[in-house]
Amino acid sequence: MDHLAAGIDTTGDGLCFLMYALSLPIHLPIQARLHRELVSNHSTPFDQLPYLDAVVKEGLRCFPPIPMSFPRYVPTGGRSIDGVWIPEGTIVSCQPYTVHKDETVFPRALEFVPERWLETKG
């Protein structure tokens, strides 16, 4: 039952936040560009539309449906993370939400900018 709820809620929440972002007046140019791509490629499968893909990725970056940490074990031999030695077997984690709002990872991190996903370098 948990898997069923997780699949329904995460998808619904993600789409709800994406529709909200697209509906804001400041994002009308994004909405218009997405509309142009959709109507001019009516026979193209959705997974082959680059701007639609970029809009969805940006929605997931800005509004991750599961903002909790993703724990991982430090591999055999240990690792240095940001100058701090972490022994093997230690559980470390990072929240996607925190990384997605980091200006050193995503320039203009607090803005909804789907075009960032169309860049070849990034």
Cβ-contact 91, 72 below 8 angstroms: yes
Tens-place pLDDT, residues 109-121: 999 999 999 998 7
Structural domain boundaries, residue 27: 2-118
Q: Is the pTM of this model over 0.75?
A: yes
Confidence of residue 68 (pLDDT cuts 50, 70, 90): confident
| Residues comprising the chain, all counted | 122
Give residues with Cβ within 8 angstroms of 106, minimum separation 6.
61, 100, 116
The angle formed by the CA atoms of residues 65, 49 and 120, to the nearest 5 degrees, is 85
Structural domain tally of the chain?
A: 1
- The single residue listed with the structure tokens 């969805």 is 56
